[in-house]
Amino acid sequence: CFWDYPMIELYGKTAGIIGLGRIGQATAKLLNALDMEVIAYDAHESEAGKKLAEYVSLDELFARSDVIFLHCPLFPATEGIINKENITKMKDGVVIINTSRGTNVDEDALLAALESGKVRSAGLDVYAEEPAKNHALYCHPMVSCTPHIGAATVEAQKRIGAEIVDIITNFKA
């Protein structure tokens, strides 16, 4: 029963977004509509991003966020960005949502933080190995998992197809 899991309200909480590109900005719009304070870390700050979130350092994002959303690509700087060291910088009871790249999260560190209560809960749509193999993490009672379906709707697939056609059409060798 869902009553076994105390819920939290997002209103008035601080949302930290790592990666304020197209998807991060769309997320920020939704979070602003929920009256959340939205802060973000991105290696490339943009004017569009500044209208949606306050840019902060990564350490400040970890310290201030009640919920952390990962919307960053996989680069050497982002691989394992959610790790044991960075989790210690986070608020107790933080919620982590990863819909970016599975290896942006050290799954063993996340599981340990869930077990200790440092991380309250996690939502995962991507995994270090796909199909997902970390049974202890994915079956944890405070983890909500989806099978990498973030862009699996019919509408999203049509948009992706149109975007690919545009890229090919506008390609200049």
Distance, in Å, from the CA atom of 21 to the CA atom of 10, rounded to the nearest integer, reads 22
111 φ, ψ to 5°?
-60, -45
Answer whether 11's CB lies under 8 Å from 38's CB: no
Q: Which of 148, 155, 159, 163 is catalytic?
A: 148
Catalytic residue among 45, 129, 130, 163: 130
47 in catalytic set: no
Active site residue 22: no
What CA dihedral angle connects 73, 13, 63 and 99, to 10 degrees? -20
Contact (Cβ atoms closer than 8 angstroms) between residue 66 and residue 13: yes
| Cβ contacts of 46-51, under 8 Å, gap ≥ 24 | 46/20, 49/20, 49/24, 49/25
DSSP, res 159 = H
Catalytic residue among 71, 101, 107, 120: 101
Q: Is residue 130 among the annotated active site residues?
A: yes
Kindly list the catalytic residues: 101, 130, 148
